[in-house]
Structure 1
């Protein structure tokens, strides 16, 4: 089988600062259907249907669609902002992040946030700028859990070993001596599926860390054994919020392993290396974006149905400057540049690659506007009734492998040119950007950069 495996873990760590230390009709069904240009305008309300038997059920279905689409809009805007920051900070490196699990973890945090911290989270997660509800009122903190409940329920509906599988899981690890509020515990479980597991950070923080890593390892099917490295927890740790995602996709159009040959890949600093390239000739969507100076192609995965369908979008920039353009796209630019793609036969030379990427997102998220969350000024009193908690770290770890036999390596065609051989032949022999998305909700599951596939 020719497939891809990806998984990510996001872990937010909170310490105590005690007194000892001082909508279906809203959008069209385009690939990028959301009109971001009207983000500040009121959304068009769907006419209230005539009351008759079954109308309540249909209204519930409709409202559910609106919820997960609204969540997806906010997530996409947040995803591109987050990725562009990480890309700027990690130039010349491989990158893999799952913005979805980062926003999920932060949205769980929002349940317990108050005051300025609540405002910061609403703004950074883009819930303050995604328009208005049908009653013309803005979205508030109280709306977010139901929005996420709808989206996570939709995305977690896929589990089939023969086709694409995507699972997202959340968990809380709280110190057994800390009395967390029942409402916070019940709401995280209800809306995010995050159960509270008591651990003993104060008495044995290393055992607690082992418990958290064991959960992450099991959730990612053994691909991320150490989400929390040594030194990330200590006796002052009071709560860890964790979210993890696992994706396994099988190519709809499969590469022929007989076409796999060694080739040359040039990294961003100009150095060259020999790696294995897969070769395939497919009828797929493609486009050359003059604005981004990049080729864009879509490689679909085998899917269950139109209700859950995944694809990888690959962006092959002309050079490093074009890569910067791609990695700094806004939501509106991404939507615009992915329009009007044409179906044509393309010969693709794609390196097999395997990425392990870990980063503490605390500085990045703080720069994005979550300054109070990572300081003693944080107000997370909705978690324990006291204003004595703040984040110390926001650990993110990801793994992805693209090859011809699922989770093991094999790979592709002799490619020694430094540019694409022609419009209908694309050689991914230089740094490129990719994103994996679920089509019906337009959710960005994973994003990354391949600078060195070896």
Structure 2
């Protein structure tokens, strides 16, 4: 009898799966001990003792069993109380920091990852002593947590929400701490910051300032596969410790946009200034709410695996976003989310990329981190063993792509009653957006799109 083979993904070979196989199949039916591992993802399994028809049946059974194990393990996985606590604190940080950034004049687009900013603060706590360290916990609203639980909880949260296998998003997070060329990083600090927050550490010499800045930008570009070509053009303060976050985020929609349904439209930056941008379009069923009192729309767009969503908040018409931003609190977001209803929505979104850098040093100081950013007060002696550093820069840089990619759309609902008379969500003017993790309720990203890249079209009257 000829051997039968099938390809399976290697996670099928977990102990739970093999136990299920052994309990459900006869030992001679499947040669599980002699699986040929072809690469890191796939293996070749032989069915030497089964007729062709039965071999196919066992393949189906095997895949079904494996999928059940996956679902079961996903449902059973729970985060620790410390991770949940840090999810709450990072969400509070999101609104405080966003509101502070929004006050800055001449700032157009905003793009921050609150959970990553929380890890920056936690890094300062690792490197700080006395009141410098305790102040970090106060800013994070984590005074009740022991230091150990703060770091293990935040590390667990970051690992969970950024896992591409379970979240099915593209999210590259790269963190580096730069110190002056004279600094010597303490071994314990290096180990702890790598363990919890995956930080690299590097010395930098600003005597040749242009070369130093080029080095920073080259690292950021390389670590984001070229998506973030530049973090900064200048560094004003060069005598302290510098935190750099270089990130790339690309949502993968639960239902993709059709790549051919893209055309050039006008985006109204203001009533008197319009730029040309590619717009992508689709109609589907989404959580939708019209807040008539505040004259705005709220749209919830699930990402692949539905473990997180992009939430869009847009005024009826083009206007400065100050009015909406004053409304934006955790309580208000929760209220909007509770009022979402499944609705047919015709969506048009800019298909653009964003590259945004914020130097958060000043803003973190304004929301309470006053010691670490002050040369005369900072005690970051856990970083080097000496009280010779302060936090001079926190460059928080992200590239983001609004694109069509995602899961195949459900073609069965097209032409059905469900999609008749859809509401219109036409994002041709500034809006606020968030990425919210549905398991932890943490806010992974928060931002606004005010000025997309595009050529000026015309002046409006």
By the TM > 0.5 criterion, same fold? yes
Give the secondary structure class of the aligned counterpart of 1:436: strand
Is 2:345 the counterpart of 1:346?
Answer: yes
**Residues 207 and 430 from structure 1, CA distance in 2 versus in 1: closer, same or farther, beyond 3 angstroms?**
closer
Give the secondary structure class of the aligned counterpart of 2:171: strand
Task: Note the alpha carbon deviations across 1:311-355, whole angstroms, 9 max, x for none.
Answer: 211111135778334323221221122113111111112222322
**Residues 353 and 426 from structure 1, CA distance in 2 versus in 1: closer, same or farther, beyond 3 angstroms?**
same
**Residues 446 and 127 from structure 1, CA distance in 2 versus in 1: closer, same or farther, beyond 3 angstroms?**
same
Give the secondary structure class of the aligned counterpart of 2:382: helix
1:400 shift after superposition: 1.8
Between the aligned partners of 2:168 and 2:188, the Cα distance in structure 1 is 38
Task: Note the alpha carbon deviations across 1:388-447, whole angstroms, 9 max, x for none.
Answer: 2112222222222213369xxxxxxxxxxxxxxx97112112211111233222232222
Match of 1:75 in 2: 90
Between the aligned partners of 1:272 and 1:281, the Cα distance in structure 2 is 25
Between the aligned partners of 2:369 and 2:425, the Cα distance in structure 1 is 40
**Residues 186 and 119 from structure 1, CA distance in 2 versus in 1: closer, same or farther, beyond 3 angstroms?**
same
Is 2:384 the counterpart of 1:391?
Answer: no
Contact 1:283 1:346 (8 Å CA) reproduced: yes
Q: 1:222 aligns with which of 221, 226, 241?
A: 226
Q: 1:123 aligns with which of 138, 142, 147?
A: 138
Contact 1:92 1:451 (8 Å CA) reproduced: no
**Residues 183 and 118 from structure 1, CA distance in 2 versus in 1: closer, same or farther, beyond 3 angstroms?**
same
Between the aligned partners of 2:90 and 2:136, the Cα distance in structure 1 is 13
Alignment of 1:244-323 (within 5 A): 244-268=246-270, 270-290=272-292, 292-303=294-305, 309-319=307-317, 323=321
Q: 2:115 aligns with which of 96, 100, 104?
A: 100
Is 2:148 the counterpart of 1:149?
Answer: no
Task: Note the alpha carbon deviations across 1:201-249, whole angstroms, 9 max, x for none.
Answer: 2776665544443332222221123324344574x34x43333333233
Match of 2:365 in 1: 366
Q: 1:183 aligns with which of 185, 188, 203?
A: 188
Between the aligned partners of 1:216 and 1:428, the Cα distance in structure 2 is 30
Match of 1:378 in 2: 378
Between the aligned partners of 1:268 and 1:92, the Cα distance in structure 2 is 14
1:258 shift after superposition: 4.0
Task: Note the alpha carbon deviations across 1:252-295, whole angstroms, 9 max, x for none.
Answer: 22223444334333224543344332221111111123464321
**Residues 270 and 147 from structure 1, CA distance in 2 versus in 1: closer, same or farther, beyond 3 angstroms?**
same
Contact 1:155 1:167 (8 Å CA) reproduced: no
Match of 2:71 in 1: none
**Residues 258 and 243 from structure 1, CA distance in 2 versus in 1: closer, same or farther, beyond 3 angstroms?**
closer
Q: Which has the higher helix share?
A: 2
Q: 2:242 aligns with which of 230, 240, 252?
A: 240
Between the aligned partners of 2:118 and 2:380, the Cα distance in structure 1 is 17
Give the secondary structure class of the aligned counterpart of 1:252: coil
Structure 1 residue runs of 5 or longer lacking an equivalent are 1-59, 129-137, 407-421
Q: 2:99 aligns with which of 72, 80, 84?
A: 84
Match of 1:335 in 2: 334
1:107 shift after superposition: 1.1
**Residues 174 and 375 from structure 1, CA distance in 2 versus in 1: closer, same or farther, beyond 3 angstroms?**
closer
Q: What is the root-mean-square deviation of aligned Cα atoms in Å?
A: 3.0
Structure 2 residue runs of 5 or longer lacking an equivalent are 1-75, 407-420, 455-461
- Greater CA radius of gyration, 1 or 2? 2
1:123 shift after superposition: 1.8
TM-score by length of 2: 0.70
Between the aligned partners of 2:174 and 2:358, the Cα distance in structure 1 is 20
TM-score by length of 1: 0.71
Contact 2:124 2:372 (8 Å CA) reproduced: no
1:368 shift after superposition: 1.1
Contact 1:220 1:245 (8 Å CA) reproduced: yes
Q: Once structures 1 and 2 are overlaid, which stretch shifts more, 261-270 or 186-195?
A: 261-270
Task: Note the alpha carbon deviations across 1:67-119, whole angstroms, 9 max, x for none.
Answer: 22111111110011111111121467222222222221121111112233223
Give the secondary structure class of the aligned counterpart of 2:90: helix
Between the aligned partners of 1:91 and 1:291, the Cα distance in structure 2 is 29
Is 2:328 the counterpart of 1:326?
Answer: no
The answer to which structure, 1 or 2, has the higher relative contact order (CA under 8 A, 6+ apart) is: 1
Give the secondary structure class of the aligned counterpart of 2:390: strand
